[in-house]
Structure 1
Amino acid sequence: MQRRMVGLGIAAVMVTTVAGCGSSSSGAAGSTSSGGNKTVQVKVGVIPIVDVAPLYLGEKKGFFSSRGIELKTVTAQGGAAIIPGVVSGEFQFGFSNVTSLMIAQSKGVPIKSVVNGVAATGVVGKDVTGVAVKKDSPVKSAKDLAGKTVAVNTLQNIGDTTVRESVRKDGGDPSKVKFVELPFDQMPAALAGGRVDAAWMAEPALTIAKGQGARVVASPFTDTDPKLTVASYFASTKLVKENPALVKKFTEAMTESLTYASAHPDEARRILTSYTKISGDALKNLTLPAWPATYDMASLEKLAGLGEKDGIFGDKKPDLDALFS
């Protein structure tokens, strides 16, 4: 399963594409009549990954339909299609990692996060992402990654930013880490074949690599902040302004879904088989992320600061209050 978006929702923002979408349709959802009650069809752009399990579980439990929302999930290969799709009105909502949202907003893309999506587990060595090395690798901890080649799924994004923080915290020189871009599903084979020294992987690639003998030497999300907000659901600022009632209903349904998934992890794990090809030992052993109902603003501020240090925002810093409040 190719994921061009980090951690789960992990997006590479193509700002030049998005910029041309700002004056498109308002993204009004279609309406149908069902039993005399008005039902609104809402399209959500997602990637079929572990992170969005609460959305599918909430749909199954009726949290959206009870609010008059007929949910239609539209899968994309990566966030590069989701962000412009939301801005143009192709989707009413989308899922993306927060660094990609910060990058887009710093470039003037009219988007706003509306509800939390996924967070780090806070457990080193058992997080939803990890840096893995071969069993016989000389790399014993994050500081040893200095001078090594590390695969990430998207350069200049949440992956390399948090990996550098792991190296920095462990006493290594993050500037000496060489990053290469590689899809998650190709990382276990690349690592086993020696094409990279280490790989920052998300689930289920991480569990697959561990099954092949790989060792986890760093948990970048948790190393950055144990409560790190990793991804969220977002809308265009136009939709937020013109249809606040729809945004409120979606936010309420998604919040209920996150709360339910957190309380029923076995159901969340089972729902993965309905929209991914994850099965067998990978399904049984993979680590589920945390699904808090609210953002952790302190962690977002820290992540933005690291992104600024890495120079991924260009001349203008993201306005976190405007993006997440």
Structure 2
Amino acid sequence: MHPQVSRALSAAAGTGRGRISHKALLAGGLATALLLAACGSDDSGDAGSSEDGTTDISVGAIPIVDVAPLYLGVEKGFFDQQGLKLKIETAQGGAAIVPGVVSDQFQFGFSNTTSLLLAASKGLPLKVVTSGVATTGKDGADFGAVVVAEGSAVKTAADLAGKRVAVNTLNNINTTTVNKAVRDAGGDPSGISYVELPFPDIPAAIAKGDVDAGQVVEPFLTVAQNQGMRQVASNYVATHPELTIAAYFTSANYAKANAETVTKFTTAMNESLAYADSHPDEARAILSTYTEIDPAVQEAVTLPKWPSQVSEESVNALSELAVQDKLITSAPDISQLLP
């Protein structure tokens, strides 16, 4: 086996914003994706163009609030204007999307920043094309937070030390940002026992006492608060006030061979992000077209920010946290990853 493939296989599991088993990840074609990444590609010229001049592309995405601009951009015709015909392929999480992009199953994908940093640290040739979603920067009013039961003795982030905290994926963006919030509040996160649960299951686990707290994002944050739970930490805000939480990306090989298509996708995606950010009512309304969300919750969710620029400073912060929490041994060269 190619040494780059072997190294990446040993540590590639668990790199998604969504939850997926490590065995399923490895069985789902990751080895093929990594082999393609290691061997590279000799393709040249933009692929997928039809006789009418449009280009068919597939985008791997997670059906969560974060990707509202993608669906809104399709509805508004921003991708049509660039001659792109999108097929949005839903996946359970970034752990499935990253190898899908590397193997050209998807031409573009959406994944959280820490997952992309972990993949880059293992030598996977990824290239971010634009920002995906960012924190609101408002403590107590973000689209992601750590919540506890109403009567919990946990009052602040520091009190999470030594507690059982549910996250959707172990050793990823939510564990490192919660650790950061705890440290900054004067607590020691080393004794936290993280429990991996899907976002929808976290409020129920808190209510039953199976865990002491849980990190959730919208719409599950609103669901939890409607059940009487309260926030004790805005972990994304605590990490950086302009934290780039996720991004849209492609493979370095595809970007080199299809530069024009990448430029068109980036242009349309940036227009979509800007439109969603300045038209929150329309962004909120689009949620019902690709998620099963209760109408009352849909009206109440806190929307994230959708800047078109990646905050390099915040990506560096996530990279440093990944090293500090021993997710990776050394920080990757983010200049090779970012636009």
TM-score bin (small chain): over 0.9
1:1-325 alignment runs, 5 A limit? 5-6=16-17, 17=31, 18-22=33-37, 23=39, 29-33=47-51, 37-314=52-329, 316-325=330-339
Contact between 1:29 and 1:42, CA under 8 Å: does it hold in 2?
no
Query: What is the CA–CA distance in structure 2 between the aligned matches of 1:231 and 1:44, rounded to whole Å?
Result: 14
Quick one: distance in 2 between partners of 1:246 and 1:32?
13
Cα contact 2:65–2:287 (8 A) shared by 1: yes
For residues 140 and 259 of structure 1, the distance between their equivalents in structure 2, rounded to whole angstroms, comes to 37
**In 2, distance between residues paired with 1:29 and 1:137?**
56
Instruction: Pick which of 245-254 and 79-88 moved more.
Output: 79-88
Q: Distance in 2 between matches of 1:29 and 1:100?
A: 27
- Aligned equivalents of 2:325, 2:242: Cα separation in 1: 21
Shift of 1:282: 1.2
Partner secondary structure for residue 31 of structure 1: coil
Hey, which of these two has a bigger chunk of helix by percent? Answer: 2
Q: Following TM superposition, by how much is the alpha carbon of 1:20 offset from its aligned partner in structure 2, in angstroms?
A: 2.7
Q: Pairwise CA RMSD of aligned residues?
A: 1.9
What is the one-letter code of the residue matched to 1:30?
Answer: G
Determine the C-alpha separation between the residues in 2 that align with 1:218 and 1:160. 13
TM-superposition CA deviations, 1:192-227 (whole Å, max 9, x none): 111000000111111111110000000000011110
Cα distance in 2 between the residues matched to 1:277 and 1:24: 39
Give how far 1:283 is off: 0.4
1:174, CA displacement in angstroms?
1.3
The unaligned stretches of length 5 or more in structure 1 are: none
Is residue 58–residue 254 contact of structure 1 (8 Å, CA) maintained in 2? yes
1:258-297: CA deviation from partner (whole Å, max 9, x where unpaired): 0000100000000011111013221011111100110111
Amino acid at match of 2:194: F
Give the number of aligned pairs. 316
Q: What CA deviation, in whole Å up to 9, does each residue of 1:6-37 have, x standing for no partner?
A: 3xx7899968634234248769653333xxx4
Q: Distance in 2 between matches of 1:84 and 1:177?
A: 30
Q: What TM-score do you get using the length of structure 2 for normalisation?
A: 0.89
